[in-house]
Homo-oligomer: A and B are copies of this chain.
Amino acid sequence: MKIALIGAGRVATHLGKALREAGHKVVQVYSRTLTSAEPLAAELGAEAITDLSRLTCEAEVYLFSVKDSVLQQLIREAAPGREDAVFLHTAGSMSLTTFEGIVRHYGVFYPMQTFSKEQEVCFREIPCFLEANDDKATTILETLAASISDRRYHLSSADRRYLHLAAVWACNFVNHCYDIASEVLESHGIPFDVMLPLIDETARKVHHLTPRQAQTGPAVRYDENVIGAQKQLLAADPLLQELYERLSLSIHNKSEQ
């Protein structure tokens, strides 16, 4: 398929590479600045553009992977004269209706993963959540998704909001807990990598047990001695102390359900 990629951030980069590897032709990469459009365009064998007036009319798919706040405006600018193409966005938090009344064939392609520029991922294993407005968009979206991922699910915009919320808990908030652990260790000269076997095992356990079954530690039994002492260690940071207290309370509440 001939694809124009609007956006050159982390998601666009990983997606663009996966599409190229699957044999698709990425014809253009749009970004606000050449600094960000050019390296990705070069890697994909595409043309870099920074002005949507230069957007090709030849693509079958216009794939938007940009900040939520500018998504609809960019769709509006790109829409005229491209009524036969399929428009897709990759935003977990944005509804299918973002496209409504602007383009004819449209859909959402949400690859649920945490992408870093520095780290390769295996796209075939990434769960991708699909939604489209009509038969044409559905066919194109399914074909495109099947060419790069083995884990595809159809999911409505309403349910995708909850999926995205769950992803924030399981990824961003989890990573923040790693960050706090790292700070606590660093301030006592202990290297963060002593934590990696524990981090890996904590992730591995929920492949076989529910998180509720897997839970251990002082909060489950609400051990007031340990909880009180650990809160004291965080006294220099009231926000962390409060987070500690509420997370402990929440663990204990759930363990009693």
A185 / chain B contacts, CB cutoff of 8 Å: 162-163, 166
Q: Does A73 contact B (CB under 8 A)?
A: no
Q: Does A243 contact B (CB under 8 A)?
A: yes
A223 / chain B contacts, CB cutoff of 8 Å: 68-69
Q: A115 to B242, alpha carbons, bound, how many Å?
A: 27
Q: A116-B209, A165-B230 are in contact. List 19 more A-B contacts (CB 8 A).
A: A112-B194, A114-B198, A118-B209, A119-B209, A121-B201, A126-B197, A127-B194, A127-B198, A161-B233, A162-B184, A162-B185, A165-B234, A166-B180, A166-B185, A171-B198, A175-B202, A175-B216, A176-B254, A192-B206
| Contact A172/B225 with A114-B198, A210-B192, A211-B179 known, Cβ cut-off 8 Å | no
| Prevailing SS type, chain A contact patch | helix
A206 / chain B contacts, CB cutoff of 8 Å: 175, 178, 192, 196, 199
A253 / chain B contacts, CB cutoff of 8 Å: 239
A202 engages B239 (CB within 8 Å): no
Q: A204 to B120, alpha carbons, bound, how many Å?
A: 11
A201 / chain B contacts, CB cutoff of 8 Å: 113-114, 121, 171
Name A212-257 residues within 8 Å CB distance of B: 212-220, 223, 225-226, 229-230, 233-234, 239-240, 242-244, 246-247, 249-251, 253-254
A52 / chain B contacts, CB cutoff of 8 Å: none
Most chain B CB inside 10 Å of its own CB: which residue of A166, A197, A199, A230:
A166
Q: Can you tell how many copies of this chain the complex includes?
A: 2
Q: Which residue of B lies closest to A206 (CB)?
A: B178
A113 / chain B contacts, CB cutoff of 8 Å: 197-198, 201
A-B contact pairs, 11 of them (CB 8 A): A159-B189, A166-B185, A169-B177, A170-B178, A170-B202, A172-B251, A175-B216, A176-B250, A179-B210, A196-B207, A243-B247
B165 engages A247 (CB within 8 Å): no
